[in-house]
Amino acid sequence: MNPLSVYAETKVEAERVVLANPRHTVIRTALNGGVSPTGDRSFNEELRRAWQAGRVTRLFTDEFRCPIPAVATARATWELALSGQPGLYHLGGSQRLSRWEIGQLVAARCPELNPRLEPGSLKDYPGAPRPADVSLNCAKIRARLGCELPGLAAWLAARPQELF
């Protein structure tokens, strides 16, 4: 591991403490989408709010995630907890996407907002260092679950009328 920030260092240390007990579990989750009570918690809600305000969203073409609907994360977490198989697990969607690709999928979902996207690069990001690729290998958790870990595009396509 090579944590790039104090935040990342604290996550690594917390995992170490939790996993020191062989009966405990750490789940590293991916970017979660969905509908929150306040309407401003998930990536899709942040994009929607920006477009409602008429803002252009600049999204990185070179930063990768495995987005997953929050309902799928909750279902998988519950099933894993009931399985009694502790350890370290990665939990994300089955599709590796750039922030730019994620934005395009969400924009297609809400054309009435006239979404405006602009491609950007992580290389131009002025903030704290960020890893370019935090996509997850979820083979271990998939082997223990009875439920599927959907990719974002397939999940959206299967629910054309639902808010997400």
Give a yes or no: residue 7 inside a domain: no
State the CATH number of the domain containing residue 116: 3.40.50.720
Q: Is the pLDDT of residue 8 over 90?
A: no
CB 62 within 8 A of CB 122: yes
Give a yes or no: residue 6 inside a domain: no
Mean pLDDT score of the chain: 92
Q: Is the pLDDT of residue 160 over 90?
A: no
Token pair belonging to 135: 């996509």
Of 39, 40, 105, the closest CA to residue 67 belongs to 105
Domain carrying residue 39:
19-157
How many domains are contained in the chain? 1
Give a yes or no: residue 107 inside a domain: yes
Query: The whole model's pTM is what?
Result: 0.90
pLDDT tens-digit profile of 24-81?
Answer: 999 999 999 998 899 888 999 999 999 999 999 999 999 999 999 999 999 999 999 9
Q: CA-based Rg of the chain, rounded to a whole angstrom? A: 17
